Structure 1
Amino acid sequence: MDGEELQQHARARVQELPGANLEHPFGPGWDVFKVRDKVFMLMTDVTGEPIVILKAEPGEGKALQEQYDDITPGYHMNKKHWITLHPSGGLQRQLIEDLVTESYLLVVENLPHAKRPVDPSTFGQDAR
């Protein structure tokens, strides 16, 4: 998967997330995705390659970095709470979508209940 595909998959997943918005507070070289004014994903190519930066639980982020060469600490972010996805073919589309969703839900969980666009404990589960 090349960088363009990496960012396309991440962007496509964001479009399915309630209350998610795209902003450019750092200029045109950075796509910043927020839910209720809180950042959950950034995309840029200022590093020389298209990357996706996501929030992650510290333990999960560390495990992902150990498991995948294409996942490193968050570029220009808190290295404990953010990860960077790099394009080079090792990340499957489903993993990218899952990581975007997890980042979104981590931010939603910290919002006041009245501001949550979804219930993070049940979002994405089948209503069977």
Structure 2
Amino acid sequence: MSKALIRYCLSKKGAVEDRPFGPEPLVVKVGGRMFALIAESAEACHFSLKCDPVIAENLREQHSAVRPGYHLNKKHWNTVVLDGSLPEEDVMAMIDHSYDLVVAKLPRSVREELAG
């Protein structure tokens, strides 16, 4: 599932792959800002995604695979452990939400470029 979700992140308009911390983790950015951080280990794949604070709290309460952002602002980031407990569609919706939050904060000219 992780490879399909990485492809999904990179399919977003303006999304680019970056590795600012070395070979791992993979960072996906739009407009120079991160919307996904993907770390893979032997045990699991972890997707850290930006999230509205109220929604973030609700997701953490509902799903044991959704945790406060690992090494990120825990108010605005969740880390999703891909352990099979969440359907791929749910993770894709979280990716969409993260992307949309980041795009909304980009300068107007960048948003217009992405829309056009």
TM surpasses 0.5: yes
Q: 2:31 aligns with which of 31, 36, 51?
A: 36
Q: 2:115 aligns with which of 111, 114, 118?
A: 118
Spell out the pairing of 1:12-27 with structure 2 (5 A cutoff): 12-27=7-22
Shift of 1:41: 0.3
Shift of 1:32: 0.4
Q: TM-score, normalised by structure 1?
A: 0.83
Shift of 1:54: 0.2
Bigger fraction of residues in helix = 2
Bigger fraction of residues in strand = 2
CA distance in 2, matches of 1:68, 1:110: 27
Between Structure 1 and Structure 2, how many residues are aligned? 114
1:80 corresponding residue in structure 2: 75
- Structure 2: where are the runs of 5+ without partners? none
Q: Is the 8 A contact 1:41 1:103 kept in 2?
A: yes
Bigger relative contact order, structure 1 or 2, given CA contacts below 8 A and separation 6+?
1
CA distance in 2, matches of 1:58, 1:87: 21
State the one-letter code of the partner of 1:43. Answer: I
Q: TM-score, normalised by structure 2?
A: 0.91
CA distance in 2, matches of 1:47, 1:75: 17
Shift of 1:46: 5.6
Identity, % of aligned pairs? 32
CA distance in 2, matches of 1:56, 1:118: 22
